[in-house]
Amino acid sequence: MGKTVVKNLILGLMAAAILAAMSAMAFESRFNVHPDEADHVSAGRFFITYWDLPAMDDPRLANTFSNYGVSYLQQLDVVYFFAGKFAAVVLPLLGQDYLALRFFNVFLFAVLMVLFLRLPDDRKIAFLPLFITPQIWYVFSYFNGDALPLFLSFCLVYVAARADAPALPGPGGPDRLQARRLVAIGLLLGLLCISKQNYYVFAGFVLAFFGVCGRAAGDMKTAAQKAVLVFAVAALLFGARWSYNVYVNRTVRPEVPTLNAEKYAEKDYKPSSQEAGTQFWGLKMRDQGLTYPQLFTIWDWHIWSFRTSFGVYDYMKIYAPLLFYRYIGYLFWTLAGALAVAVVLHGGRGGASALLVFLVFGGLTIFQSTWHSWNNDFQAQGRYLFPIGAMAGLVLARFAPAANRTLPVTGILAGAMYALSLYSFVWVGLARIPR
């Protein structure tokens, strides 16, 4: 009992340190010194005032367009609605609307830390990805559209980790508690799909993971039944949001998005500039003649994406010393390898299948990001890879007994990554961010 209390106290202090550093970043950093924050805040401000979702030709959108000539309010994303309503409540306390919106994300991470501490000790390893990279902490410390879907994905991990049976789908029909959990997973998955498009691959992973759990439990029929329930709930929520969007835009002319882009985009991003071939260098690089392998051989997509997964701040301007990325990379790959071996060797019938499914959908997430950089806009940013962290969390939740067998080693590796992450966030990011 004594060891458990000390362990939980240490973990609680680690979580508190992250939240303290995150709050300092939110309070002290100047407005719009974070990627696209001004555009995200403009979208959030809309819902501080209004309740209805606007059509693409709504004149109230005029102040929400980015340099691309696109408004985040033209998309299905619901983060701006929830954040705007949260900000409206806390605005009298914080004074500035951008601070109120930032603390929506800080609040979300605080909820995740509470959920983490509520997990049984043998399942806490499912939240490991949240402790080993400062990039996740950074995303929760300013206002953007990436924190909510990451929050939702780890809420899903929490529900899975709290399941009484080792497998999410188990033998026999679902009891009332299982049914509630499955509905909760469906709601979370539906919200994910109307929060960020790059989480569609994560939804595919969840579907495949039901198959993995069914194989591990020796009951594929029950796994399929539960997957149907989850995806029916998710589809209902997604369909409602999509249908409302169609209804709101029912009278909007098809050319409106292009007209908006031409009107509001900066010169290098206008459709007319793209047609003339004078657009910003990073737009539609495939059409400009860049081959897919050249993303890596010329533009070093993999290098930039790795660094921006482990601590880059401001508008990709503030980096740690290059040695930092080398050492945290060594630790990360050793940690990932040790956990993968443990899941395969000690995870029973489903262990190898879980690793295979994880690798396939993790690879698809990476490919999705490269495809976007190649065909749309070169953005070698780690935030596009965050769904992989939640995929790992689900695997660790289901195969926690196997993963926990590595704790003496993985605990040291994860602790070292946490220490390096804290160094990066506080002594690099927070120390050098414009105020």
What pLDDT digit, counting tens, does each position of 301-324 carry? 999 999 999 999 999 999 999 999
The reported pLDDT for the residue numbered 150 is: 97
Q: Is the pLDDT of residue 169 over 60?
A: no
3-state class percentages of the chain: helix first, strand second, coil last, to nearest 5:
75, 0, 25
Tokens of 289: 């003649």
The reported pLDDT for the residue numbered 175 is: 62
- 3-class secondary-structure state, position 313: strand
Proportion of the chain above pLDDT 90, given as a percent? 73
Tokens of 215: 């194989």
Contacts (Cβ under 8 Å, ≥6 apart) of 422: 17, 18, 21, 134
Contact (CB, 8 A) for 69 and 263: yes
Contacts (Cβ under 8 Å, ≥6 apart) of 170: 178, 217, 219, 222
Instruction: Say how far apart CA 301 and CA 295 lie, in whole Å.
Output: 6
pLDDT digits (tens, 9 = 90+) for 18-35: 999 999 999 999 999 999
Proportion of the chain above pLDDT 70, given as a percent? 97
- Exposure string for 61-100, b = 16+ CB within 10 A, e = fewer: beebbbebbbbbbbbebbbbbbbbebbeeeeeebeebbbb
Radius of gyration of the chain (CA): 22
Q: Which domain holds residue 329?
A: 2-432
The reported pLDDT for the residue numbered 278 is: 77
Instruction: Say how far apart CA 420 and CA 415 lie, in whole Å.
Output: 9
pLDDT digits (tens, 9 = 90+) for 88-134: 999 999 999 999 999 999 999 999 999 999 999 999 999 999 999 99
Tokens of 309: 């997964």
Q: Give the chain's domain count.
A: 1
The reported pLDDT for the residue numbered 350 is: 86
Confidence band, pLDDT 50/70/90 cuts, at residue 165:
very low
Contact (CB, 8 A) for 45 and 73: no
The reported pLDDT for the residue numbered 163 is: 78
The reported pLDDT for the residue numbered 166 is: 41
Contacts (Cβ under 8 Å, ≥6 apart) of 104: 44, 82, 83, 86, 87, 143
Confidence band, pLDDT 50/70/90 cuts, at residue 6:
confident
Question: How much is the average pLDDT of 209-232?
Answer: 87
Question: How much is the average pLDDT of 196-217?
Answer: 90
Confidence band, pLDDT 50/70/90 cuts, at residue 213:
confident
Who wins on pLDDT, 218 or 401?
401
Contacts (Cβ under 8 Å, ≥6 apart) of 13: none
- 3-class secondary-structure state, position 98: helix
The reported pLDDT for the residue numbered 223 is: 85
Question: How much is the average pLDDT of 422-426?
Answer: 97
Contact (CB, 8 A) for 242 and 77: no
